[in-house]
Amino acid sequence: MKYVYVILVFLLCGCSRSFRSDNESCKVSVDVDFSVVEECLSLADIVSAKQIIPLSLPKGEVIGRPVQVCTSDSCLFVYDQLQQAIYRFTKDGTFLNKIHRQGQGPGEYTTVTRLMVGSHPEALYVYDKVAGKIHIYTFTGDFLRTITTEYMANHITLLPDGSFLCFTPDFIYNGPCGLWRMSADGKLCKMLLEYKEKYPVVSAYWNRFYAVSSQTVGIACPATDRYLHYDCKADSVSMELQINSRQHTTFQSVAVQSSLSPLQPGLQSYPI
């Protein structure tokens, strides 16, 4: 089951290189008129169910700025950007342990760009874009090893075979621009979709990858208004949806209606 997580925390106690450009046709094309703005978006329009998971923390522990949630079959991880720390909980919100290995020594990260979970064996992958490294830990926080990356990636996700799918839609000097695959040892091994035009720059903090199935990764491409699917078995990408904007307007904030109490701390997961 796929989940979208919303965190409410309150301050209480062997590869070959190949290149391909973005010139394939899409399966579906949709026209969108952005001059029609809805002032309110109902939560029920985008989710089919909701679950509130209260997070239990030890006395004196506070999650100050939760910005990422990563799940495994047995537990979930919450990254606190304020402390540069990773909290681990059971699926019912019981606290298990805290991983805080910020630094510049062996097995330490300078910052956490992306959390990823490996299942065979169980391991937590921490991508540090600033240092160009992927640190691998046990779920309890013991350091295992480090992968040094050949190029910087703005978005990254772990694939079933141990390699990484990377997406850099905006320009990074002397690096690949587009969708590409990184080997398990951190090397560029295949360019899946190359953006030859590096401008205009379109960037955002949120993750561009989303799970479609166990063998398919979805990718949102802001520069081309396209949604892609990466097939892990075929090692190929297809264009699934093209958004044709009829009018480009400045984005306006949209309120989200929800019957949830705003004073309920915890983590809400929404299967979609």
Contact 250, 34 (CB under 8 A): no
Per-residue confidence (pLDDT) for residue 54, from 0 to 100: 94
Per-residue confidence (pLDDT) for residue 233, from 0 to 100: 95
What pTM value is reported for the model? 0.78
Contact 204, 223 (CB under 8 A): no
Contact 152, 132 (CB under 8 A): yes
178-200 pLDDT per residue, tens:
899 999 999 999 999 988 776 65
Contact 152, 146 (CB under 8 A): no
Per-residue confidence (pLDDT) for residue 26, from 0 to 100: 67
C-beta pairs of 103-110 under 8 Å, 24+ apart in sequence? 104/131, 106/143, 106/146, 107/135, 107/137, 107/143, 107/146, 108/135, 109/84, 109/133, 109/135
Per-residue confidence (pLDDT) for residue 47, from 0 to 100: 82
Strand 122-128 versus strand 114-119 pairing type = antiparallel
Pick out the chain residues at pLDDT < 70.
1-26, 34, 198-205, 223, 246-272
Per-residue confidence (pLDDT) for residue 267, from 0 to 100: 41
The kind and range of the H/E element at 187 are none
